Amino acid sequence: MLCHRIPTKLGLIGLIFFLLSSLVLTPAFSVPSINLTVQALGSCTTDRYYIDVNVTNLENFDLVNYTFNITIPSERIPAYSRLKAGNVYVVDENGNPLYYWVMRRTRKVFTVFFRVPYIPKDGWAVVRIYYGSDNPYRKYRKPAMLFMYFNNFNSLENYPHVDTGIFDNSNPFDPGELSTSRGKLVINSTISTWLFSEAKEARLTTLTVNDSYRIVFKFRRASDTQNAESYPFYMFIHTHAGRGDRYDYIGIHETVYAGSSKFYFEFGNDQNGATEVNKRAGKQYYLGEIFVSPSSSAGRIEKFSSGALIASQVFETGRRFRNREVSIGFGQANADIFADVNLLAYVDWVYVVKSAEYSAEIVAAGVECLFNQGVV
């Protein structure tokens, strides 16, 4: 693959170091391994650091106003301590600002999203990620411009009930069971059962499945074991097909065998042996993804601690949603009999993005510097 560097029209002040070889980073959640060699800065007083990223279109059609992302391990980013979510911004090869969003900046990893106006079929675009200094383009930090739907739960909205048919009975959440706190949706419900499973479910938005889409969400299980078959959190897509329900969901399922509880990652009733071993809720968080297209659906869930990936699972069910309108929402459930459960989960954000095949490749990294004698 060819490397396409940003031309000089960006106006480099002083190039101090380069990436010595092309490094391909896979998009979405995965954290690749990168080798970066940095030269000494000498007497230079740094102004701002940058990373140049080549995005290659792998589809057989033009990509117009698509959103892309790149994930980089923190130890491979020069002067990572200088990188703050507030001083990151992204520009195109002409220096024009692009809409962007820093999904995460942890001790271990950095992920940023950006929207590119146009990449032709078999073509590419180069963007530059700046960090470490003032941010003149804060107004371009607009997730709403990147995603078809975005909710970071700064305020509580009205989330109507939807019965997915996943469980025997479905009800709306009671008043007070949904709230927001510190930019998170708090889901805290009590569910009792007799002979049939009971769920509480709510809809966030709807989506017409006329293309390929990814529904991605960050959440944390906050309730410990209930010693009952239960679901402390799941995210679903649902539609009516004929006289029945068609759905897929991804979440965490507590199962009980011989008096001992285990948690499983689950997607559309497919546990696939994916044990989530912690019985007690911790500070770990999850990134979940539901991929849906007219012809198929799939799921992925990844578990992180302090930004480090510690568990992951990929699922496929092959359900077809064709061009139907689906509800996207969340739920909690008690699948046991004669049981009471108290379930608690936090959701940081949810986004829906149109999916495309592409590669993201770092082609250079450097710093633009000011010297004591003046600009060089």
- Tens-digit pLDDT profile for residues 216-233: 999 999 999 999 999 999
The tens digit of pLDDT for each residue in 68-102 reads 999 988 888 999 999 999 999 999 999 999 999 99
Do 352 and 215 contact (CB within 8 A), yes or no?
yes
Question: Residue 145 — φ and ψ, nearest 5°?
Answer: -85, -10
What domains lie within the chain, and their CATH numbers?
8-147+357-375 (2.60.40), 151-354 (2.60.120)
- pLDDT, residue 313, reads 86
**Quick one: pLDDT band at residue 30, thresholds 50, 70, 90?**
very low
Q: Is the pLDDT of residue 12 over 50?
A: no
DSSP 268: T
Distances (CA, A) of 332 to 80, 234, 263: 39, 6, 14
Beta-strand relationship, 169-171 and 198-208: parallel
**Quick one: pLDDT band at residue 309, thresholds 50, 70, 90?**
confident
The tens digit of pLDDT for each residue in 265-279 reads 888 866 565 666 565
- pLDDT, residue 4, reads 36
CA 267/CA 316 separation, integer angstroms? 8
HEC string of 7-61? CHHHCCCCCCCCCCCCEEECCCCCCCCCCCCCCCCCCCEEEEEEEEEEEEECCCC
The tens digit of pLDDT for each residue in 322-334 reads 899 999 999 999 9
- pLDDT, residue 280, reads 61
Do 63 and 46 contact (CB within 8 A), yes or no?
no
DSSP code string of 75-140: GGSTTGGG--GGG-EEE-TTS-EE-EEEEEE-SSEEEEEEEEEEE-TT-EEEEEEEESS--TTGGG
- pLDDT, residue 106, reads 87
Least confident range from 42-51, 120-129, 249-258: namely 42-51
Q: Which two tokens stand for residue 299?
A: 């799921």
Average per-residue pLDDT for the chain: 85
DSSP code string of 197-263: -EEEEEEEEEEE-SS-EEEEEEEEE-S---SSSEEEEEEEEEEEETTEEEEEEEEEEEEEETTEEEE
First to last CA, the chain: 33
- pLDDT, residue 76, reads 83
Q: Is the pLDDT of residue 192 over 50?
A: yes
CA 32/CA 17 separation, integer angstroms? 21
- pLDDT, residue 308, reads 75
For range 112-128, the mean pLDDT? 97
Burial class (CB in 10 A: 0-12, 13-18, 19+), 68: buried
- pLDDT, residue 322, reads 87
Residues in the chain, total: 376
Q: Which two tokens stand for residue 155?
A: 């305020």
pTM attached to this predicted model: 0.85
The tens digit of pLDDT for each residue in 146-169 reads 999 999 999 999 999 999 999 999
- pLDDT, residue 320, reads 87
Q: Is the pLDDT of residue 358 over 90?
A: yes
Residue appearing with tokens 């709807």: 206
Q: Is the pLDDT of residue 344 over 90?
A: yes
